[in-house]
Structure 1
Amino acid sequence: MSFVFYDTETTGLATDFDQILQFAAIRTDADLNETGRIEIRSRLRPHVIPHPGALRVNGMTIGEITANDLPSHYEMMREVRSTLLEWSPAIFVGYNSLNFDEHLLRQALFQTLHPPYLSNTNGNCRADVMHLLQEASVFEPSGIEIPKDAYGSAIFRLEDVARRNGFSGHIAHNALEDVLATIHLARCIRDNAPDCWNRFVRFSKKASVSAFIEDEDAFLLTEFYFNRPYHYIIAVFGKDPSQDNVSLGLDLRVNIDWLTSLSTPQLLEFVGQSPKRVRRIRTNAAPMIASLEDAPDAVKGGLSDSEIINRATRFKADKALHSRLVAATMEARAKREVSPFIEERLYDTFISRDDERRMELFHSVDWAARVQIVESLGDDRLRYFGRRLIHEYSPLLLSPALRAEIDYAIRSRLLAHEVPDGKWTSIPVAARMTEKLLRTASGRAYEQLSEYRGYLTMAATMSSR
């Protein structure tokens, strides 16, 4: 199977509200030899205000991202999707992509009326090279050099790890350069930590993960928090009834007899305690899992393999306890309320087949014909994004009332002095941040921020009209 390594540069870190400004991807064969590439930028969308910190990091100026000769965001996503579908099926890989870039890609597809789950449908699967490096740092530490800070803590920033492992001349926070650095690190692990690489490829596939965790009496699950590894000896006891891709497992360092003796209220308290001994394993998100024989003894919590198997055998035979744990886990889970912001509702429900057909038709007709298609969509999220697309590219096709409604909604966001939980960047928020950054900026950074300050002043004036 081929790989698609990809990266994005964006207007900020808010994956629901920010925008991809640059997308790059390189397709390789199974031996990591390049077989194709795409690199494309887009201009800024009218309802998005970049975070000034993001511009400082990626080095883009406001003039560069508003240039009229750039493709529109919609045009960029049409080309990106076409290329990625042409390259499918493949293993989609990034660096910290499962926590960031993939969400940006899904939102960009969703908000331009495309099916969002491209990287794990059509025969595709996904993995993350940052997770691969983290795993190698535990299982095969001689295979990769991980830099450390002054306190001895591991540093997994792409530019630092790539430089330490021989990738020279890296221009950090350029999407294409970051893709090349990611491929370089993947080759390092393939060549120097082959067991980790083989697990990486194997467990990028949901079917392989599902088969492994069901077949093994017990296995090692490793998760990283704040660049530190945490290990759990897991026996699977069920699935999340609301999410077919999530299996539930118990950390076998728990005393099984004690667990069985708990009353229902005590069991509910147990599953809610931290650190959580009931772990959620996302079978379609390349979890860091390994068999007991591959796990170093130091991470087994002082338990021998025979003791682990004995506990697993006893636990797996207690189906009544399994049912009680599933029920307690579901009850302890915080109730998720429907967000008032459409952008945060991507995962609320799947798109219907009828709406998928309407979405496909939307892209094959002119803007005038798209109005009726958008209004026929059964999903209110898709109608919202469809109307916003038409407003962005051909606003006069909308009724005066609808155009005024969208104008007001965009203006309200752009001019908000306070943004709930910092969900997006408004003009006043960006202006305050820019002034703060200007106090310590010099040289090119000062020029970049000064230009951006002028843009914000102009944008505030235009939005207030």
Structure 2
Amino acid sequence: MKTYLFYDIESTGLNKAFDQVLHFAAIRTDLNLKELQRYELKIKLNPDVIPSPYALLTHKMGIKEISQGMPEFAAIKQIHQWLNEPGTISLGYNTLGFDDEFLRFSFYRNLLKPYTHQYNNQCSRMDLYPMALMFFLFKKNVLTWPEKDNIPSLKLENINTANQLVAGRAHHAMIDVEITLELARRFFQERDMWDYVCGYFKKEMDKQRTESLQQDIVILVSNKLGSKIFFQCPALFLGNHQHYLNQSLWLRLDTEELTQTTLDTVKENTWVINKKPGEPNFILPFKERFFSRISQDRLTLAKQNTLWLHNQPEIFTKIKAHYTHYTYPVYPNTDIEASLYLNGFWSAEEELFCQRFHTATLSEKAQLAEHTPHARLQSLALRILGRNYPEALSPHQAKQFTDYLQRIHSRNENDIPIDYQGKKRLTPNAAKEEIKALRSGTSLTDEDMTLLIEFEEYLDTQKQP
């Protein structure tokens, strides 16, 4: 049976590779949005994770609260099972922009398949945030849409306040899930529109829609464009990426900088947005009913820029070549937990190890970690045991995990692990600097001050070599 799984996470921070889930909540419904079941987990802070004080002030979960809960290994395994239940369509508010990838890294570092919830056993994904963009643009009467300084604000908490969907504090995982579900029910009242927008999350349907528009100017709808221009712009198909499969590339046409592009300034003067089938962003035909929110000046500029590109074939070819062959920088010293995109899928032998590890007793897990010939599996398994079951470690393994903790908490910048984008793991010292910045530049409540004081006391207990 097909079901929706509306979910939300609260985390220690925004780094998808190094931060962790602290609170997971979900509501499963049928395809008519009738509630079937609820799930909720609180997860204990890992000993190698330093939370961002910005995150603590957002979800108001203090260090005492997050020092209790389920071990991450058991909790992430349970979440993986929920998202992979046959026929599950997992979705939330901006889940494809944050939560989904965050969970992907959580699955990976806990030796679970990171992608199966996207395609296996009739599972798939959606996201209510880009759907909200479409309803805001083309079915505005379904909601009262909040504004801030006369600019649309589509933050979930602001939509909830304006429409009184659910009572409760924002950034509590279950409250946010309830808000998202009620928002979906509002959209569902416009069934034809709901079904049409859902089509953008079906890979084959979205691919057919997109490919049929590759010869003409289109309207591109994307949160990346921002609320000031109503999340949409005229765009032109550049081509398909030659390295990252299943990505089409769309050149924004309404920028004044475009006609200043030379053969040497392609990157500086052009704005290109990537599109994967079944995921945001959305491509619409260049028809008047879709560009009513685009000013006449922008439409005129887009047509002028299109003519300029036609008259500058060498530069247009260079723009295409730059973006269709561009590859993200690779950092050779990327930490093993952040190497999901660098090392590829598990081999058959590695998958067998992961399966055995999950079904083994604690002592057997330690033996498996000790004797596997695969370096990344050994490192990941050692960290799983050190975080969740330190009593199972052998003396040699305990020493390895202690050395690892000292390294990641180091004051030496060169010792701090980096992720696949070159971003450093948060250290106690860096967290203290964030606290200073919060105190000097932010209006803090008494609750905020208490959270920061307790967190500082915790940071003082973390050893820094």
TM over 0.5: same fold?
Answer: yes
Aligned residue runs from structure 1 range 93-104, under 5 A: 93-104=91-102
Summarize the Cα distance change of 1:164–1:384 in structure 2 as closer, same or farther, 3 Å threshold.
same
Summarize the Cα distance change of 1:379–1:131 in structure 2 as closer, same or farther, 3 Å threshold.
farther
Summarize the Cα distance change of 1:279–1:82 in structure 2 as closer, same or farther, 3 Å threshold.
closer
* TM-score normalised over the length of structure 2: 0.82
Query: Which of 200, 203, 206 is matched with 1:203 structurally?
Result: 200
3-state SS of 2:61 partner:
coil
Match in the other structure for 1:289: 283
Summarize the Cα distance change of 1:209–1:77 in structure 2 as closer, same or farther, 3 Å threshold.
same
Deviations 1:234-278 (A, max 9, x none): 554642122222123456789xxx99xxxxx956754x34342x5
Aligned residue runs from structure 1 range 57-456, under 5 A: 57-67=58-68, 70-86=69-85, 88-122=86-120, 123-149=122-148, 151-192=149-190, 194=191, 196-216=193-213, 217-218=215-216, 219-225=218-224, 226-228=226-228, 229-234=230-235, 236=237, 238-249=239-250, 269-270=265-266, 272-276=267-271, 278-293=272-287, 295-297=290-292, 299=294, 302=299, 327-333=321-327, 335-354=329-348, 355-374=350-369, 380-395=375-390, 400-416=395-411, 423-434=424-435, 437=438, 441-456=444-459
Does the 8 Å CA contact 2:93/2:156 hold for their aligned counterparts?
yes
3-state SS of 1:35 partner:
strand
Counterpart-to-counterpart distance in 2, 1:430 and 1:325: 41
Does the 8 Å CA contact 1:127/1:200 hold for their aligned counterparts?
no
Counterpart-to-counterpart distance in 2, 1:268 and 1:240: 21
Counterpart-to-counterpart distance in 2, 1:410 and 1:115: 26
Deviations 1:410-434 (A, max 9, x none): 1222243766786333222323444
Deviations 1:105-147 (A, max 9, x none): 1111111110112431213222221222222222233333221
CA-based RMSD: 3.7
Summarize the Cα distance change of 1:376–1:117 in structure 2 as closer, same or farther, 3 Å threshold.
farther
- Could you tell me the percent identity over the aligned residues? 24
Deviations 1:332-370 (A, max 9, x none): 555434453233322224223412222122101112222
3-state SS of 2:223 partner:
strand
Counterpart-to-counterpart distance in 1, 2:145 and 2:115: 32
Counterpart-to-counterpart distance in 1, 2:210 and 2:365: 46
CA-CA distance at 1:6 after TM superposition: 0.7
Counterpart of 2:345 in structure 1: which amino acid? I
Deviations 1:407-461 (A, max 9, x none): 222122224376678633322232344456567655333333332222222x23x
Counterpart of 1:131 in structure 2: which amino acid? P
Summarize the Cα distance change of 1:345–1:268 in structure 2 as closer, same or farther, 3 Å threshold.
farther
CA-CA distance at 1:185 after TM superposition: 1.2
Deviations 1:154-203 (A, max 9, x none): 212211111212314132111011001011111222225x5542332111
Match in the other structure for 2:49: 48
Summarize the Cα distance change of 1:4–1:268 in structure 2 as closer, same or farther, 3 Å threshold.
farther
Does the 8 Å CA contact 2:11/2:55 hold for their aligned counterparts?
yes
Counterpart-to-counterpart distance in 2, 1:339 and 1:222: 37
Count matched residues. Answer: 442
Counterpart of 1:60 in structure 2: which amino acid? M
* TM-score normalised over the length of structure 1: 0.82
Counterpart of 1:452 in structure 2: which amino acid? F
Summarize the Cα distance change of 1:247–1:28 in structure 2 as closer, same or farther, 3 Å threshold.
same
Counterpart-to-counterpart distance in 1, 2:290 and 2:453: 53
Does the 8 Å CA contact 1:159/1:170 hold for their aligned counterparts?
no
Unaligned runs of 5+ in 1: 260-264
3-state SS of 2:334 partner:
coil
3-state SS of 2:24 partner:
strand
Summarize the Cα distance change of 1:289–1:186 in structure 2 as closer, same or farther, 3 Å threshold.
farther
Does the 8 Å CA contact 1:223/1:288 hold for their aligned counterparts?
yes
Is 1:28 the equivalent of 2:29? yes
Counterpart-to-counterpart distance in 2, 1:197 and 1:176: 24
